[in-house]
Amino acid sequence: MKKILLACLLIVLSINLHAQTDFVYKNIDSEKACRYWVESKLESLTLKQKIGQLFIHTVAPYTTQQNKKNIEDAVKEYGIGGLLFSGGDIDKQVELTNYAQSMANIPLLITFDGEWGLAMRLKGTPSFPRNRVLGCIQNDTLIYEYGKEVARELKEIGVHINFAPVADIDNNPKNPVINTRSFGSDREQVANKALAYSKGLEDGGILAVCKHFPGHGDTEVDSHKALPVLPFSQERLDSIELYPFRKAIEAGVGGIMVGHLNIPLMDNKAASVSQAVVTELLKEKMHFKGLVFTDALEMKGISNNPYVSAQALAAGNDMVLAPRNLKRELDGVLKAVKEGKITEEEINEKCRKVLTYKYAFGLNKRPSIEKNGVMSRINKAYTNDLIGRIKKSAVTVVKDSDEMLPLDLTLSGTVVLNVSNTLSETYPFFNEINDTYPVTWLHANLDSLQSLRNRITPAQRVIVAVYTSKVEKYRKVLLELAKGKPTILVCFNSHKVLQKLNDVVAQSSAVVLAHSDEKYIQKFVAGMLIGNQRVDGRLSVDLNDEYKAGSGVIVDPDKPRRYKPEEFGMDSKVLSRIDSIAEYGIKEGAYPGCHVLVWKNGYQVYNKCFGNHTYESDREVRENDLYDLASLTKTTATLLAVMKLYDEGKINLTDKISDYVPELKSTDKESITIQQLLYHESGLPAYLPFYKKAIDPKSCKGGMYKKYKDANHKIKVGNALYVCTNFEFLPEWVSEKDSAGYTLKLSDGIYIKPEFKNVILKEIADASLKGHSYRYSCLNFMLLKEAVENISGMPMDKYLEENFYKPMGLVHTLYNPLQRYGKDDIVPTVKEDFLRKGPVHGYVHDEAAAMMGGVSGNAGLFSTAKDVATIYQMLLDKGVMGDRRYLTRATCELFITMKSKNSRRGLGFDKPDADKPGNGYCAPETPASVFGHTGFTGTCAWADPDNDLVFVFLCNRIYPNPCDRKNLMKLKIRPAIQQAIYQAIMK
């Protein structure tokens, strides 16, 4: 009978295992072995011992006999499931951990409260910045590295669970307890960074616990002292407080901590003891399957409740943390079970879940930590390097209103004024600048205010370096100074200190928030000022009403200086008309945001971003945001490769494409030449719906398309054309799982086999031709991509990276950008509920390119305005950029000047219509020499050899639905901007 019962329980556990988070799956080698161990242990425990497994007991970090007796009682008598140490030093914690584990019947979960690493609780350990500082970082890969490093350190001291990260949004400046513990006030930034940190922890083998559910950011009461209230609507909770937790759950994070917060909308209880919050909201509505912990039950926001542990477990929590009286609380749970307030089966399920996680941590065997050398194992050189990289990445240029940064080193008369407690702490900053660029050094503490005024008066500009937090007495003189001459304010202190100088910030020409004053940070900031370091940090929370969260200026030593247009014979007032044209496009719904860039003679004369990523988002467009270039890929990718191969004599314009694409042999495409493909005179159709070959035709009720909308055809894909929405992919080509063979991604959660490329090539080979007159076709450049790869022996994206993008420093130009960048760095392209079944964000929009795995000759490249302009400037400069030649002069001249006799098309490039000026995508004033291209997503780039001019326009005009977004062309936004550029050229 016992065997039958155990077999049944194993089946139940198997179901539960599959309901756990990714963490369990990644850390269990054998489900069968796990199930057996869990059930055998569960069967061996009494009800009281099962309850004990659900308790995490807090102990002091002392090795006294009394403290050891406390640990022994908790482990042996009460059979607790885990321990939380309250601080101290590493050696004592390791000793006590080994002591506790040696006595445990079932090894203990060792937990830690390390929101910013071990240094939050343990002396002598690596000190990482607070989350508010981390929120300024734009590269979330660093946050992931940080999480993984903290995981490594925690494992060295035997810890399994870290009660971090804080996923609360810091949107209330009066919050007394969250503030710097949060990643910031922007929900996307908080969610992204909480996820990056969590993934780092869990990839490193430590369970991450996001807290404090459902959100502790917008409160003015400290739950350590009283019970805060969240008096918000469901809509507000869903859009703000719950947002980071929802993202964490969707990503499979393993733990969540429920805070002591009251939500009147739910009930009148603290969330940590509320079934409406824990079970109905977190577990049922939000589908969280991981471990649910209470916040510490000794906190005054909840501790006055009698038998609070029983209430917390009845509400749905899996483990209770740090109750004040362990014996009383355990007895209270046992009493609740006997009274039917909690069922024994509920206790079994919770205990089974805890034991499953213990097995995932390897606690089916008794652990032991090597105490000798533990400090040196934790404090590695790599750790200090990582801390340095993190702190440097958080440096933020809040403003640079006069475009002073990097400094013009040809100007003399600069004074550095230090506001600090001692002279010595300011040496690194001053010396780093002075070694390159002689400056005058003044110290506010040593000079009287009047003396400072007298010595600063002759200066051309002033750099104010603030170190001390006691800045009030200097405010008046600093404000007077900033009003009188160009001033750069550098704060080597916290955000809070900079806020004390808000009036000085308003008057300063440039403001830098460095967050700290370590020597290497001072040198780094000095390096940025003199043009040796790049800074791209952004405020994680508001500084004031003008400089909100997300504010920040990129200072890049490689970034072209913004010159006054008049220096290059252009009228800045006329050029400024671009502002109103771009903004008009947003107002009329032509696009949610855009980026406009103009270079003259190789120098930047106009560069502005407008609007947001999407209509529903408040994420502003920034200079380094990546756009889906669509058909602009043809000239910024495929054509470059063709020109390079032509340069090397490996391909000729008169060559037959079938010489390089054997699939076209013995077909009517065999004689098509490279030149015909570049001119779009191959006769190939404009487009082929390759995706139909990946769809099961039997699943399309009523056929693939209909001219009207019905229950099975809900998505509009053209004028009076609707597509089947309830189709199924053919499993021989497409899978919704990342499994063997399905290695290319169509979008999130949809994968395709790379062999589908053969289907595409066969479809092209079988397509009908229509003479050799002009007909624009994406198939032409898809074939050119195949030729490039077959000739070079390399994937085209790798070929371009090696020969162009990497040596040119185009770090923001690539196919499949999610391999390097987060979604916050990429502008969403479209909402596509047909093929991709959701938002297309970070994946190419073009279906043909998507079916090729994102790398195609017709589309697929993502880039920024600056990178696109750099490519076109290189072509204008006849193949040269900097001190390196990428293409020969002859090749560049041939490709940018040669034009078809049958159309306006050049060799791969589009050109103005000389017969009908202003007809098409260019302004009437555009010279015939101009070359460039446009993209379906709304992008364009045009280069003008006559005027040495480059114009780039990037937008996502098809968002959210390409069928409803035609205003960009109707309003002629791009030609109007181009017209303003030509009208600005002074005759």
For residue 280 the two structure tokens come to: 């109905």
Domain covering 23-376 assigned CATH 3.40.50.2000 in the classification:
no
Q: Using DSSP, state whether 221 is helix, strand or coil.
A: coil
For residue 532 the two structure tokens come to: 């040796």
Element (H, E) at 193: helix 187-203
The band of 724, judged by pLDDT with boundaries at 50, 70 and 90, is confident
User: Beta-carbon neighbour count of residue 446 at 10 Å?
Assistant: 10
Residue 712 pLDDT: 85
The CA dihedral of 42, 47, 51, 57, to the nearest 10 degrees, is -90
The band of 965, judged by pLDDT with boundaries at 50, 70 and 90, is low
pLDDT at 14 over 50: no
Residue 57 pLDDT: 96
What are the sequence ranges of the domains in the chain?
23-376, 395-530
Higher pLDDT, 18 or 934: 934
Q: Quick check: do 23-376 and 395-530 share a fold? A: no
Judged by average pLDDT, the poorest of 293-302, 463-472, 500-509, 515-524 is 293-302
Residue 556 pLDDT: 84
Residue 671 pLDDT: 96
List CB contacts of 672: < 8 A, sequence separation 6 or more: 656, 657, 658, 664, 682, 683, 684
The band of 4, judged by pLDDT with boundaries at 50, 70 and 90, is very low
pLDDT at 563 over 70: no
pLDDT at 10 over 60: no
For residue 107 the two structure tokens come to: 């090894």
Query: What are the b/e assignments for 758-772, b being 16+ CB within 10 Å?
Result: eebbebbbebeeeee
The band of 7, judged by pLDDT with boundaries at 50, 70 and 90, is very low
List CB contacts of 11: < 8 A, sequence separation 6 or more: none
C-alpha–C-alpha distance, residues 262 and 228, integer Å: 6
The residue whose two tokens read 């429920």 is: 258
C-alpha–C-alpha distance, residues 707 and 919, integer Å: 32
Give bridge partners of residue 910 from the DSSP assignment: 932
Beta strands per DSSP E along 444-540: 461-466, 487-491, 510-513
pLDDT at 445 over 60: yes
- Please list the active-site residues: 224, 295
pLDDT at 596 over 80: yes
| 85-100 mean pLDDT | 93
Residue 207 pLDDT: 98
Q: Is the peptide bond before 61 cis (omega within 30 degrees of 0)?
A: no
What strands lie across the sheet with 82-85, from one edge to the other?
A: 291-294, 255-258, 207-213, 161-162, 109-112, 82-85, 55-59, 320-321
Q: CB of 938 within 8 A of CB of 591?
A: yes
pLDDT at 93 over 70: yes
C-alpha–C-alpha distance, residues 769 and 686, integer Å: 11
Residue 551 pLDDT: 87
C-alpha–C-alpha distance, residues 359 and 352, integer Å: 10
Task: Encode pLDDT of 604-646 as tens digits.
Answer: 899 999 999 999 988 999 988 999 999 999 999 999 999 999 9
Residue 560 pLDDT: 55
C-alpha–C-alpha distance, residues 926 and 630, integer Å: 23
| 115-131 mean pLDDT | 94
C-alpha–C-alpha distance, residues 510 and 546, integer Å: 14
Q: Using DSSP, state whether 184 is helix, strand or coil.
A: coil
Give bridge partners of residue 415 from the DSSP assignment: 440, 462
Q: Is the peptide bond before 685 cis (omega within 30 degrees of 0)?
A: no
DSSP state of 229: B
The band of 446, judged by pLDDT with boundaries at 50, 70 and 90, is low
What is the biggest distance separating any 2 CA atoms in the chain, rounded to whole angstroms?
A: 99
Give the HSE-up count for residue 395: Cα atoms under 13 Å, Cβ half-sphere: 31
| 196-201 mean pLDDT | 96
Q: What is the CA radius of gyration of the chain?
A: 32
Give bridge partners of residue 84 from the DSSP assignment: 58, 111
Task: Name the residue type at position 71.
Answer: I
- Topology adopted by domain 395-530: Rossmann fold (3.40.50)
C-alpha–C-alpha distance, residues 527 and 953, integer Å: 32
The CA dihedral of 366, 372, 378, 382, to the nearest 10 degrees, is -120
The band of 249, judged by pLDDT with boundaries at 50, 70 and 90, is very high
Q: CA angle, 378 as apex, 165 and 114 as ends, to 5°?
A: 20
* CA proximity to 955, closest of 680, 605, 601, 584: 584
Mean pLDDT over each residue of the chain, to the nearest integer: 91
C-alpha–C-alpha distance, residues 868 and 595, integer Å: 12
Residue 6 pLDDT: 38
Task: Name the residue type at position 463.
Answer: I
Q: CB of 522 within 8 A of CB of 492?
A: yes
Residue 525 pLDDT: 97
Give bridge partners of residue 845 from the DSSP assignment: none
* CA proximity to 804, closest of 601, 640, 639: 640
Task: Encode pLDDT of 232-247 as tens digits.
Answer: 999 899 989 999 999 9
* CA proximity to 278, closest of 258, 298, 296, 295: 258
The band of 559, judged by pLDDT with boundaries at 50, 70 and 90, is low
Give the HSE-up count for residue 448: Cα atoms under 13 Å, Cβ half-sphere: 3
For residue 1 the two structure tokens come to: 């009978």
For residue 319 the two structure tokens come to: 């483990």
Q: Using DSSP, state whether 503 is helix, strand or coil.
A: helix
Q: CA angle, 555 as apex, 550 and 560 as ends, to 5°?
A: 125
The band of 1, judged by pLDDT with boundaries at 50, 70 and 90, is very low
Task: Encode pLDDT of 480-515 as tens digits.
Answer: 888 888 999 999 999 999 999 999 999 999 999 999
| 334-339 mean pLDDT | 96
pLDDT at 8 over 60: no
List CB contacts of 733: < 8 A, sequence separation 6 or more: 693, 694, 752, 753, 756, 759
C-alpha–C-alpha distance, residues 793 and 802, integer Å: 13
The residue whose two tokens read 């270039």 is: 629
C-alpha–C-alpha distance, residues 575 and 161, integer Å: 58
Residue 838 pLDDT: 85
DSSP state of 804: I
The CA dihedral of 658, 848, 637, 662, to the nearest 10 degrees, is -10
Q: CB of 455 within 8 A of CB of 428?
A: no
pLDDT at 466 over 50: yes
C-alpha–C-alpha distance, residues 820 and 825, integer Å: 10
List CB contacts of 77: < 8 A, sequence separation 6 or more: none
Environment class of 739 (CB within 10 Å of its CB; exposed 0-12, middle 13-18, buried 19+): exposed
C-alpha–C-alpha distance, residues 212 and 257, integer Å: 6
Total residue count of the chain as it appears in this document = 987
Q: CB of 505 within 8 A of CB of 471?
A: no
For residue 428 the two structure tokens come to: 């690194």
Give bridge partners of residue 861 from the DSSP assignment: 815
Task: Name the residue type at position 261.
Answer: L
Task: Encode pLDDT of 45-81 as tens digits.
Answer: 999 999 999 999 999 888 899 999 999 999 999 999 9
Residue 918 pLDDT: 67
Task: Encode pLDDT of 732-760 as tens digits.
Answer: 999 988 778 898 999 888 999 999 999 99
| 328-353 mean pLDDT | 96
DSSP string of 374-438?
HHHHHS-HHHHHHHHHHHHHH-EEEEETT---S--TT---EEEEEE-S-SGGGHHHHHHHHTTS-
Task: Name the residue type at position 129.
Answer: P
Residue 882 pLDDT: 79
Task: Encode pLDDT of 684-707 as tens digits.
Answer: 999 899 999 999 988 888 888 888
Higher pLDDT, 656 or 25: 656
* CA proximity to 696, closest of 730, 724, 658, 665: 730
The backbone torsions φ and ψ at residue 414, rounded to the nearest 5 degrees and listed phi first, read -105, 135
| 393-398 mean pLDDT | 97
pLDDT at 341 over 50: yes
